């Protein structure tokens, strides 16, 4: 009598290198797209963090410029002994302009993040 058992031939194991070479175009495209998305997302997060830090530093600088109280109880000169009104006005004005510009840059970057990187 003939043996009715079917025999299965074991498939040879395939190396990772060969598997990668055999991958179809959509699989490779998916991997490249994910890698590119991750790189761009990280770069944009870094930009957001830098702009937030810049805004925070400028707000701190402006706060310091607004602090004109005497620095000690023996010298009650407002603004300190070395206070120069023209320099102070210029510093406040320049800091406010730079701060406003940074806030606009941050707003645009946040809108770009929402548009390009947030999952709906």
CB 62 within 8 A of CB 96: yes
pTM exceeds 0.85: no
Which sign does the torsion angle of CA 87, 93, 97, 99 carry?
A: positive
Q: Per DSSP, which regions of the chain are E strands? A: none
Task: Decide which of 28 and 60 is more confident.
Answer: 60
Q: Band of the pLDDT at 9, cuts 50, 70, 90?
A: confident
């Amino acid at each position: 009598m003939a043996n009715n058992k079917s025999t299965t031939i074991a498939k040879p194991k395939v190396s990772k290198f060969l598997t990668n070479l055999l991958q179809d175009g959509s699989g490779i495209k998916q991997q490249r797209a994910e890698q590119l998305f991750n790189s761009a997302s990280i770069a944009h997060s870094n930009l957001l963090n830098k702009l937030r830090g810049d805004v925070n530093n400028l707000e701190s600088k402006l706060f310091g410029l607004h602090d004109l109280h005497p620095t000690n109880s023996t010298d009650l000169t407002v603004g300190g002994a070395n206070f120069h009104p023209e320099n102070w006005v210029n510093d406040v004005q320049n800091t406010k302009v730079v701060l406003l510009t940074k806030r606009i840059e941050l707003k645009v970057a946040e809108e770009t993040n929402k548009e390009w990187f947030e999952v709906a």
